[in-house]
């Protein structure tokens, strides 16, 4: 039976949050399900506990805190940067462990000094975990979606392919499949018979006529031109797809991407390794690398143990609101993630914020931390 | 031990299943009148027949409350998580053919593959302020196909319990995942199947609930052998 009371170290954790200068917030346990499903995708549906209100609104037991905390920040329209801390129960079906467990974390919303905010998130997470597990060596993995985006951008691929690759970042299997397709383009670019006809009618060279044709077809077949994809959307992507089909990634570029994705070095060595990669490949990555280096420098200033952090270039999350930093904290020699976080600059806009609000944060898996503490006791 | 076999309780499925069992030397007779929901196999006192609806059969197989069932593979794979670990598909019976497919409006000239759909789904929200909406009653099969096989996460399922193929034209969803046998309903609604959009080629199957008690049971082995012998 899983423990469902507050972990014994809850008070010490809250004291840490306070000393880090965060604002403690709480949110209702019962939440509208829509924002979670819209942000995280359908896969989440199987793992959250859903119910309905009397009026048919989909509700769920809070599966995590980030979205409710962000929604609250947007509603408060403070406009000023805020660092929120939370500690409470979340409800999710997991392969291992119970379905209800405590989670805590910090969300740092609105700070435009991203290097400093990133560094603070990593070092705060490390410090809090280290405080619970004194003397136990940590292993931190760090990745950066923005560097990958820069590599893909510098390879000179058409926009459609860039989007595909960036979207697959963090999903190793899918990314590999796409790269293989890029190298052997016979598997891409399936066009239906309708497109051949359009081409013979000369519609593919004339975007305005193509749009008009799509609109007329929609009307003739009873489809609305504005309920779903518009004629302009379809015409534009058809053009993009023709570009995609005609693109082949040459051996050299493919090797560059592969070499990049294989990088796995101590963080302290990462700026030099990335610089060497940029030089060798001839890819122009200056902006992304400058930001990467600034984050490493900011991290060094926080006093965090940089030696415990490795940079893994392929490490990312395949969700469209993650934009830069991602990281995970484990005990060295284990594979249980005790804390994980990253930068999600797109999330608040997706949730309805009018202006761009940069965001970075992390959450702590308290039941796993508790287990790690217990395993220490057992070993002694 | 008495072995319980569940057969579809009505329609073509019931007739086709009974015919196959009869050919296999397992003639089914209803207990009581013709409309009864119980039956037995002539000359086999250790076999019991239950007539259930096709979707009940898949559920009861999952519960293990019946030993065998004749039902569509689509219903079993949709109804049960880890279907292959919980049931065995013993024989494909050659009737009740239906493909579970991903279909999009014909006018989406730029979309012919799942990869195309992935591209569209990826920036759908940025363009339309909402996720790509899929109308279906096949939640599990859709999720496995989209996320599991094609790395597409960003979509929403809109539950549809009937006339799914009308959802894109009516605007209640963008695309559908549904069953089709001839494709004529899709065509009538100006929908096309993606080239790699066939999720499952389903047909009626003899399905066994995996139970330890079945090991070495001669009746179980005999039923499987008899049905396999005629399909």
Is the Cβ of B9 closer than 8 Å to some Cβ of chain A? no
pLDDT at position A379 is: 45
pLDDT at position A380 is: 39
Partners of A224 on chain B (C-beta within 8 Å) are 169, 171
User: Smallest CA–CA separation between B219 and chain A, in Å?
Assistant: 37
User: Residue A48 in contact with residue A33, Cβ under 8 Å?
Assistant: yes
Domains and CATH numbers, chain B: 3-96+203-228 (3.40.190.10), 98-201 (3.40.190.10)
Distance CA A175, CA B12 (A): 46
Q: For the segment B138-147, what is each residue's pLDDT rounded down to a tens digit? A: 999 999 999 8
User: Smallest CA–CA separation between B98 and chain A, in Å?
Assistant: 23
A141: β partners: A310, A328
Which residues 152-171 on chain B approach chain A with CB closer than 8 angstroms? 153-157, 168-169, 171
Q: Hey, of A42, A168, A227, A316, which one would you mutate to test binding to chain B, going by the most B CBs within 10 A of its CB?
A: A42
Please return the burial class of A282, using the count of CB atoms within 10 Å of its CB with bins 0-12, 13-18 and 19+.
Answer: exposed
Q: How far is CA A238 from the centre of its chain?
A: 28
Domain A10-27+62-151+262-379 has CATH 3.30.930.10: yes
Nearest CA among B155, B63, B159, B181 for reference residue A52: B159
pLDDT at position A1 is: 42
Distance CA B224, CA A292 (A): 63
**CA A319 to each of CA A25, A94, A169, A276: distance values in angstroms, whole numbers, following the listed order:** 25, 19, 9, 29
How far from each other are the two terminal CA atoms of chain B, in whole angstroms?
26
Distance CA B88, CA A117 (A): 54
**CA A328 to each of CA A237, A369, B113: distance values in angstroms, whole numbers, following the listed order:** 37, 13, 35
Nearest CA among A30, A94, A102 for reference residue A68: A30
Measured over the CA atoms of residue B58, residue B61, residue B63 and residue B66, the dihedral's sign is positive
Q: Can you list the residues of chain B whose pLDDT is less than 50?
A: none
Host H or E run for residue A310:
strand A309-312
The answer to whether the Cβ–Cβ distance between B119 and A221 falls below 8 Å is no
The answer to whether the Cβ–Cβ distance between B108 and A234 falls below 8 Å is yes
pTM here is: 0.80
Partners of A149 on chain B (C-beta within 8 Å) are none
Mark A52-70 as b/e (b = at least 16 C-beta within 10 Å): eeeeeeeebbbbbbbbbbb
Distance CA B153, CA A118 (A): 26
Distance CA B114, CA B135 (A): 16
For chain A, what are the domain ranges? 10-27+62-151+262-379, 189-245
Q: Which residue of A has its CA nearest to B108?
A: A234
Measured over the CA atoms of residue B116, residue B118, residue B122 and residue B128, the dihedral's sign is positive
Say what the ipTM of the complex is: 0.84
Predicted confidence pLDDT, tens digits, chain A (380 residues): 455 678 899 999 999 999 999 999 999 999 999 899 888 878 788 889 999 999 988 999 999 999 999 999 998 876 789 999 999 999 998 877 788 989 999 999 999 999 999 999 999 999 999 999 999 999 999 999 999 999 999 988 878 788 888 888 888 888 888 888 777 765 556 788 888 888 888 888 888 999 999 999 999 998 988 889 999 999 999 988 888 777 777 888 888 999 999 999 999 999 999 999 999 999 999 999 999 999 999 999 999 999 999 999 999 987 777 889 999 999 998 888 999 999 999 899 889 898 899 999 999 999 899 999 988 754 43
CA angle in degrees (0–180, nearest 5) for A361-A364-A369: 160
pLDDT at position A174 is: 82
A192, A224, A320 member nearest B154 (Cβ): A320
- Angle, helices A286-302 vs A270-281, to 10°: value is 170
User: Residue B87 in contact with residue B23, Cβ under 8 Å?
Assistant: no
Nearest CA among A25, A21, A198, A4 for reference residue A89: A4
pLDDT at position B189 is: 94
User: Residue A257 in contact with residue A155, Cβ under 8 Å?
Assistant: yes
Partners of A237 on chain B (C-beta within 8 Å) are 110, 119-120
User: Residue B115 in contact with residue A167, Cβ under 8 Å?
Assistant: no
Nearest CA among B120, B146, B223 for reference residue A46: B146
B112, B130, B142 member nearest A190 (Cβ): B112
Which residues 107-126 on chain B approach chain A with CB closer than 8 angstroms? 107-110, 112-113, 115-116, 118-120, 122-123, 125
Distance CA B135, CA B156 (A): 9
């Amino acid at each position: 039976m899983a423990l469902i009371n507050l972990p014994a170290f809850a008070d010490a954790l809250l004291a840490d949050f306070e000393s880090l200068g965060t604002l403690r917030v709480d949110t209702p346990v019962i939440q509208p399900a829509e924002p979670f499903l819209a942000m995280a995708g359908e896969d989440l549906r199987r793992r959250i506990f859903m119910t309905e209100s009397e009026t048919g609104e989909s509700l769920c037991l809070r599966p995590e805190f980030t979205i409710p905390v962000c929604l609250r920040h947007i509603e408060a329209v403070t406009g000023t940067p805020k660092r929120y801390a939370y500690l409470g129960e979340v409800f999710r079906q997991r392969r291992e462990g119970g379905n209800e467990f405590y989670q805590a974390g910090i969300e740092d919303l609105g700070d435009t000094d991203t290097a400093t905010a990133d560094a603070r998130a990593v070092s705060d997470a490390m410090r809090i975990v280290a405080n619970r597990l004194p003397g136990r060596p940590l292993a931190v993995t760090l990745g950066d979606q923005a560097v990958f985006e820069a590599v893909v951008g510098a390879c000179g691929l058409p926009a459609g392919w860039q989007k595909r690759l960036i979207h697959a970042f963090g999903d190793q299997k899918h990314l590999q499949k796409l790269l293989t397709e890029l190298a052997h383009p016979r598997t891409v670019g399936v066009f239906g018979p309708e497109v051949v006809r359009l081409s013979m009618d000369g519609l593919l060279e004339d975007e305005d006529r193509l749009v008009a044709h799509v609109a007329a077809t929609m009307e003739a077949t009873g489809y609305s031109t504005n309920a779903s994809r518009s004629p302009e959307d379809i015409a534009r992507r058809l053009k993009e797809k023709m570009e995609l089909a005609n693109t082949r990634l040459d051996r050299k570029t493919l090797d560059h991407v592969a070499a990049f994705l294989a990088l796995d070095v101590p963080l302290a060595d990462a700026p030099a390794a990335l610089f060497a990669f940029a030089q060798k490949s001839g890819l122009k990555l200056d902006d992304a690398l400058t930001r990467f280096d600034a984050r490493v420098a900011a991290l060094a200033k926080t006093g965090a143990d940089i030696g415990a952090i490795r940079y893994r270039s392929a490490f990312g999350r395949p969700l469209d609101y993650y934009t830069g930093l991602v990281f995970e904290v484990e005990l060295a020699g284990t594979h249980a993630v005790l804390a994980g976080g990253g930068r999600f600059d797109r999330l608040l806009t997706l949730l309805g914020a009018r202006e761009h609000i940069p965001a970075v944060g992390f959450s702590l898996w308290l039941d796993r931390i508790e287990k790690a503490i217990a395993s220490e006791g057992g070993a002694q | 031990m008495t072995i319980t076999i569940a057969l579809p309780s009505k329609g073509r499925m019931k007739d086709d299943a009974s015919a196959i069992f009869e050919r296999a030397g397992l003639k089914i007779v209803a207990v009581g009148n013709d409309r009864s929901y119980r039956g037995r196999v002539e000359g086999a006192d250790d076999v019991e027949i239950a007539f259930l609806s096709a979707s009940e059969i898949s559920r009861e197989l999952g519960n293990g409350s019946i030993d065998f069932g004749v039902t569509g593979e689509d219903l079993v794979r949709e109804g049960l998580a880890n279907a292959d670990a919980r049931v065995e598909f013993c024989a494909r019976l050659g009737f009740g053919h239906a493909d579970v497919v991903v279909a999009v409006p014909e006018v989406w000239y730029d979309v012919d593959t799942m990869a195309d759909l992935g591209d569209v789904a990826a920036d759908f929200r940025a363009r339309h302020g909402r996720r790509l909406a899929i109308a279906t009653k096949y939640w599990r099969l859709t999720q496995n196909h989209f996320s599991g096989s094609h790395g597409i996460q960003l979509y929403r399922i809109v539950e549809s319990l009937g006339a799914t193929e009308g959802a894109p034209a009516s605007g209640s969803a963008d695309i559908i995942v549904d069953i089709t046998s001839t494709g004529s309903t899709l065509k009538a609604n100006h929908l096309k199947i993606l080239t790699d959009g066939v999720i499952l080629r389903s047909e009626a199957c003899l399905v066994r609930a995996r139970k330890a008690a079945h090991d070495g049971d001669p009746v179980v082995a005999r039923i499987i052998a008899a049905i396999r012998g005629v399909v």
